[in-house]
Chains A and B, each alone.
Chain A
Amino acid sequence: MLSIKNLHASVEGKEILKGINLEIKAGEVHAIMGPNGSGKSTLSQVLAGNEAFEVTEGEITLNGENLLELETEERAREGIFLAFQYPVEIPGVSNLQFLRTAVNAMRQHKGQDEMNAAEFMKLAKEISKQVDLDPAFLKRGVNEGFSGGEKKRNEIMQALLLQPKLAILDETDSGLDIDALKVVSDGVNALRAEDRAILMVTHYQRLLNHIVPDYVHVLAGGKIIKSGGRELALELEERGYGWLGIKDEETADSSVN
């Protein structure tokens, strides 16, 4: 489904990703782990098409289609979804309006009729329950005054509404207490499907106790330095990143190995 080959990307002239190779098939769940500054978040931003990052080399395809030629919103309509680490507030725009606009943009792209306000309200209420969000949240401004946990649940709710082909979860576990982590994980597990891939980016392995990945990759210094199964994450937890010869606070500039 997703194929990344020799991906190099930089921000403000500084190279962060230095040759990423990754293949993800439909139905699979992959976890990318790594210390701070390793390029994890950059990878998710680049996949989603954030123009603050410049791709200098390499290719990304989704089901054979060249993603790098597509604008952010076109990628989204092709099924790329990014659950943000720090979702931004949009004051005065109700969550409901925002979500309906997004859902209808997708529907329009697929040649489906737009959903009217009443139909959408019904759907949104159902899904908000799934992530344990009070439907009253739908009327509040997008992420306005939401707690960290509410923002994360709101992100997962959006994934459930938009039904993407590839869901990228950027540090979705950060700042969550154990109960919220459970709710969010249940939401993500509900997303798992034969025709959908999930890419989780995380610093800690605790999320992986709840959402069990098929593959784990360790990213350091802008490269994937080790790949394995679920057990790799457990080993990392036990032995720390130092085990792989990298320091946790290492910057992307310093060399690995």
Chain B
Amino acid sequence: MATTDQEVNELIKREYEHGFVTDIESDTFEPGLNEDVIARLSGIKKEPEWMLEWRLKAYRRWLEMDEPDWAHVGYPKIDYNSISYYSAPKRKEDMPQSLDEVDPELLKTYEKLGIPLHEREKLAGVAVDAVFDSVSVATTFKEPLAKAGVIFCSISEAIQDYPELVKKYLGSVVPAGDNFFAGLNSAVFSDGTFVYVPKGVRCPMELSTYFRINAANTGQFERTLIIAEDSSYVSYLEGCTAPMRDENQLHAAVVELVALDDAQIKYSTVQNWYPGDEEGKGGIFNFVTKRGAAIGKNSKISWTQVETGSAVTWKYPSCILRGENSVGEFYSVALTNNYQQADTGTKMIHLGKNTSSTIISKGISAGKSSNAYRGLVKFGPGAEGARNFTQCDSLLIGDRCGAHTFPYIESKNKSAIVEHEATTSKVSDEQMFLCRQRGIDPEQAVSMIVNGFCKEVFKELPMEFAVEAGKLLEVSLEGSVG
């Protein structure tokens, strides 16, 4: 009934709670992009010559590329010369040597976001790399990790300290010419996280990066590279927030994962970039390329994402299953409200024998938003005995939103098996009435029903973050139906 829709409408008028701005002095480039800007960026970071060359090559290639227009989203044309490509909090010396040297304003920012960086208040058992605008400002738990042989640092440090590893793997999974946004990122990425887990090591704690955009008119272009050597294991989580601003801001990240024989990488994302206001003004354009290469036999790459933020999302965390018996997984919850648009999904590219993949996608649309699942399952000629299971469920809240499913299947091997299930449902009036008749607030009822819908995905998240994800959903749903 319409009445329930109205109630749900009234439900969610809570504000984005991470929308504050940190008042901090920053070194910020003038807007604009050309070879000089890239050279300056590389210079500030004291990068070796090869890195600059790599960037310039990517830039020249990018100039020849076209922005993709096939996604089910619409947004005003981006003027890439109106964006500032570097912004970093000012600091006296080079890198802070310890957390005591990190600007207290920055520490306060992360505390406010619920990510205390001080070791004494640290998140139990989770190491954090904090990226603020264009730079990594702090990384916790470096020492105990180093003892285990795990390298966990900013990508800028890795370029200085582990150039051979970076040279070998950077761009090996997502080449600079892969797509328009990956090309741009390759040219101008300013920081990000580097993880290396040596042979036979099970990383002793969860690793995480917390991305924060603060400065206005800047883009954030981070680059993450995770390498898991033979028989190693690592679980990594990223979180993202940004201030509320009327202008759209661009976030174009690239994440590359490499899993060798018997290695396992679990990558979880809780994305809560500023989604824009109720009228659809402002918000982050989240155009991200994430891909994992399961190179080794019996390797496994697992993506779990909870996407609640951003004005426009264009994101397809994918797996290239090259190794025999390698496994790819994609668990996704994507929630859109108000005028948010999401076109997200995955690609599972089966190349090796007996490779298998699982896709569980839960799309929730509320308000006037648009939510599309786009997925490709591809079997190469060598993918003997490969199989995929895909389940795409959409939940609609109200009657002014849209849900779309675009599954693509390509098979060059007759022995491959694909199963695909899809459902669309609504938060029904009967469910709402049952909850309310038991004394439960309508708002709490919607959030409980939506959480139930997402259960299969939430159980894939590391424990510490499953609760956070549930709460985030609750906040994002506020005022959800329009």
Contacts and interface: CB of A to CB of B under 8 A. Distances in A.
B113 interface: no
A243 B368 CA distance: 56
* Most chain A Cβ neighbours within 10 Å, of B436, B439, B455: B439
B439 A102 contact: yes
Contacts of A80: 437
A73 B452 contact: no
B4 A92 contact: no
B441 A73 contact: yes
Interface string A126-143: 000000000000000110
A142 B431 CA distance: 10
Interface in B323-362: none
B451 A105 contact: no
Q: How large is the interface on B (under 10, 10 to 19, 20 to 34, 35 or more residues)?
A: 20 to 34
Given A73-B440, A90-B434, A102-B440, A51 B452 contact: no
Nearest to A99: B438
Contacts of B433: 48, 50, 72
A76 B436 contact: yes
A43 interface: no
Contact of A91 (B430, B439, B440, B453): B453
A173 B264 CA distance: 54
B3 A52 contact: yes
B431 A72 contact: no
Interface in A4-51: 48-51
Given A91-B453, A92-B455, A105 B437 contact: no
Interface string A55-87: 000000000000000011100110011101001
Nearest to A105: B439
Q: Count chain B CB atoms within 10 A of each CB in A49, A72, A77, A82 and give the residue with the most.
A: A72
A168 to B, nearest CB: 10
Contacts of B1: 51-52
A102 B435 CA distance: 8
A97 interface: yes
B430 A105 contact: no
Q: Name which of B431, B438, B451 has the most chain A CB atoms within 10 A of its CB.
A: B438
B428 interface: yes
B453 A101 contact: no
Interface string A173-213: 00000000000000000000000000000000000000000
Given A51-B4, A88-B431, A90-B434, A105 B440 contact: yes
A92 B452 contact: yes
A242 B428 CA distance: 38
A88 B456 CA distance: 20
Contacts of A91: 452-453
A88 B428 contact: yes
Contacts of B441: 73, 105
A111 B3 CA distance: 30
A159 to B, nearest CB: 10
A109 interface: yes
A172 interface: no
Contact of B448 (A71, A76, A97): A97
Contacts of B454: 92
A105 B444 CA distance: 10
B449 A101 contact: no
A93 B442 CA distance: 15
B467 to A, nearest CB: 13
Nearest to A80: B437
Interface in B420-469: 428-431, 433-442, 444, 448-449, 451-456
A98 B429 CA distance: 17
Contacts of A246: none
Nearest to A45: B433
Nearest to A51: B3
A93 B449 contact: yes
B116 to A, nearest CB: 26
A169 interface: no
B436 A73 contact: yes
Nearest to A94: B452
A194 B444 CA distance: 33
Contacts of A88: 428, 430-431, 434
22 contacts: A49-B437, A51-B4, A52-B429, A72-B436, A76-B439, A80-B437, A84-B437, A87-B434, A88-B431, A91-B452, A91-B453, A93-B448, A93-B449, A93-B452, A98-B448, A102-B435, A102-B440, A105-B438, A105-B440, A105-B444, A109-B439, A158-B438
Closest 7 A/B residue pairs (Cβ): A92-B452, A93-B452, A102-B438, A51-B3, A92-B455, A76-B439, A105-B439
Given A72-B436, A76-B437, 13 more contacts: A51-B1, A72-B437, A80-B437, A88-B434, A90-B431, A90-B448, A91-B452, A101-B444, A106-B439, A109-B439, A141-B452, A142-B434, A162-B438
